[in-house]
Amino acid sequence: MHEYYAEKAPKLRKAMHSLLKPISAELEEASGKPYAALFPEIWDHYEKNMLEDFPYIGGDDVSGTGNLTCAYCFVSMGEVLRAYGVGMEEIGRLMVTAYERRFNGMPGIVKAIAHKSYTNVKTLNKKFQKKDAQNAANAARYPGSFETRTMIPPEEGYDFSYHNLVCPLSDFARSHGYEEYMPYLCNLDYVMFGAFGVPLFREHTCFEDGDYCDFKLKIDAEPMAYWPPVFTQGKGYK
């Protein structure tokens, strides 16, 4: 285990609890086990199978570390639930429910600020070009870290677009046998953007297509429904 994850383990345990506690009733119903007994099993799986093997991609200095550590809380949840006979679709639904409750619990003013930020194209381009440079510098130090490219002009028909060129979540899934979870983890982006009232559209993923993940915003459109998962809806989006 990298020393960063060893040091952060207590904080990450609290973060996992904060993420899963709002769906404790659903977890109990799915597993037939009290949350107080189930949560230590999920954490134990996470500590032994995720923290032990996570790549170091920059730690607190990069936002992508939080993406990796948060996403794989759901994978450990799923792996434990499978031992109790829970199927992948139900695991995916629980992921969505947890994420919904996380973002719906934010103060209205926070969501309003996020909405304004994500619908101001000039600000977005400036912010994400800066992020591109930061990610490139970080990836030069820690290969396999997130790398991004803001598309200027944006792809045709959209107001803003950027690409994830390297995705540690996808790479970790492939190298550790968690491929089945990736489409459901990608679907959570629609939950987050939807909570902020921002219409996201994606037609490529690093995991499925092997080239890039595209994040495309069409400001005046309606946010897509995210359940059933976008990748199952037959509309060409992932």
Quote the pLDDT of residue 89. 98
Residue 208 C-beta-side C-alpha neighbours within 13 Å: 18
- pTM of the predicted protein model: 0.97
Quote the pLDDT of residue 27. 98
Quote the pLDDT of residue 63. 87
Four-residue CA torsion sign, 203, 204, 205, 209: positive
In the predicted model, residues of the chain with pLDDT beneath 70 are none
